[in-house]
């Protein structure tokens, strides 16, 4: 295994001549958390879209497990172990918590109509493990529509984890959460790195601090700064970028 799970080199993305990303360099170590922050429009989601193969870069490389995936089809990238959780919860509202995880676990066997029948012992064990990981053991039989907002987000993280990804991309996982839910989410993400590598995009600084992970700041499609949260938040350029837009995204400093 190469020392980096993901390495991005000279990545440039152009939308009708507008450069959403220019010359971005970025890397993630295996079994670690990396945080991507930056004001609205900085290019964070575009970077994620490139990693999962939804957006094609104009130039540059995305090297994953030693191979350039920048031109690979989306399903291939997914099969290779990169999964993304989107901002909006995508749980199946009418199914129970357990059945949501069963569907996610069995997604590669979708021809099997009744996902609950014939779950193998290892599949059942995995679902139990995931329920515990995301703290929803006691909610297992509850219909997902009755979950609180934060619980739905955790279930969705559980659904992504059920696909056993090597690299998990979480785009604003704490959107709309209470402070308590946000703290629990940070704890959950820190547990995920025992088995997965996680790229987190967020702009809630209190949350980012709880992750205790290296931070990359994007601004106007370029990497502005990399370092620990302490280094980044005391950087004059970073401060000016955020303060200039403080009305949009408070830096909770
Ligand atoms: N499909 C697209 N077509 C044209 N412009 C886009 C598209 N996607 C994103 N952009 C532009 O690229 C820039 C970066 O967007 P985005 O990656 O969503 O930023 P962030 O996630 O950091 O808020 C923005 O100016 C946005 O308007
Ligand atoms: Mg975004």
Give dist(CA 78, CA 90) in Å, integer: 17
Q: Which atom of ligand 1 has the smallest separation from the CA of 55?
A: 1
**CATH class of the domain comprising 6-91+147-243:** alpha beta
Residues with CB under 5 A from ligand 2 (ion): 44-45
pTM score, whole prediction? 0.91
Residue of minimum CA distance from atom 16 in ligand 1:
43
Instruction: Find, among 156, 170, 246, the residue nearest to 213 by Cα.
Output: 170
d(CA 20, ligand 1 centre) in Å: 6
Domains of the chain, by residue range, sit at: 6-91+147-243
State in Å: Cα 47 to ligand 2 middle. 9
SS3 74: helix
Residue showing tokens 């450069």: 19
Query: In the 3-class helix/strand/coil scheme, how is 77-135 assigned residue by residue?
Result: HHHCCEEEECCCCCCCCCCEHHHHHHHHHCHHHCCCCCCCCCCCHHHHHHHHHHHHHCC
* Ligand 1 touching residue 203 (CB < 6 A): no
Distance, CA of 175 to CA of 173 (rounded, Å): 6
Q: Is the CB of 219 under 6 A from ligand 1?
A: no
Cα(46) to centroid of ligand 2, in Å?
A: 7
Task: Write the pLDDT tens digit of every residue in 63-97.
Answer: 999 999 999 999 999 999 999 986 555 799 999 99
Contact 222, 22 (CB under 8 A): yes
Residue 146, classed as helix, strand or coil, is: helix
Question: In whole angstroms, what is the distance from residue 197 CA to residue 45 CA?
Answer: 18
Q: Is the CB of 45 under 6 A from ligand 1?
A: yes
Check residue 204 and report its DSSP letter: -
Q: What is the pLDDT along the chain (253 residues), one digit of tens a residue?
A: 568 999 999 999 999 999 999 999 999 999 999 999 999 899 999 999 999 999 999 999 999 999 999 999 999 999 999 999 865 557 999 999 999 999 888 765 555 556 666 788 989 999 999 999 999 999 999 999 999 999 999 999 999 999 889 999 999 999 899 999 999 999 999 999 999 999 999 888 889 999 999 999 999 999 999 999 999 989 999 988 876 654 455 555 4
Backbone angles phi, psi at 95, to 5 degrees: -95, 160
* pLDDT tens-digit map of 203-222: 888 899 999 999 999 999 99
């Amino acid at each position: 295994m190469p020392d980096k799970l993901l390495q991005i080199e000279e990545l440039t993305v152009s939308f009708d001549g507008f450069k959403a990303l220019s010359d971005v360099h970025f890397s993630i170590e295996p079994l670690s958390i990396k945080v991507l922050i930056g004001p609205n429009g900085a290019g964070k989601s575009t970077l994620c879209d490139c990693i999962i193969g939804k957006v094609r870069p104009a130039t540059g490389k995305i090297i994953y497990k030693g191979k350039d995936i920048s031109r690979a089809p989306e399903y291939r990238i997914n099969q290779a172990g990169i999964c993304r959780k989107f901002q909006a919860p995508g749980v199946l509202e009418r199914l129970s918590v357990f059945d949501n995880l069963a569907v996610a676990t069995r997604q590669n066997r979708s021809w099997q109509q009744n996902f609950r029948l014939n779950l193998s012992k290892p599949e059942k064990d995995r679902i139990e493990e995931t329920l515990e990981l995301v703290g929803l053991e006691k909610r297992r039989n509850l219909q997902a529509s009755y979950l609180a907002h934060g619980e739905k987000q955790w279930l969705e993280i559980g659904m992504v984890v059920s696909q056993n990804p090597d690299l998990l991309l979480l785009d604003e996982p704490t959107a709309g959460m209470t402070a308590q839910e946000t703290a629990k989410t940070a704890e959950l993400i820190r547990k995920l790195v025992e088995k997965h590598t996680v790229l987190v995009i967020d702009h809630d600084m209190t949350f980012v601090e709880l992750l205790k992970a290296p931070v990359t700041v994007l601004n106007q499609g370029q990497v502005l700064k990399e370092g620990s949260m302490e280094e980044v938040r005391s950087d004059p350029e970073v401060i000016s970028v955020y303060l200039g837009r403080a009305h949009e995204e408070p830096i909770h400093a």
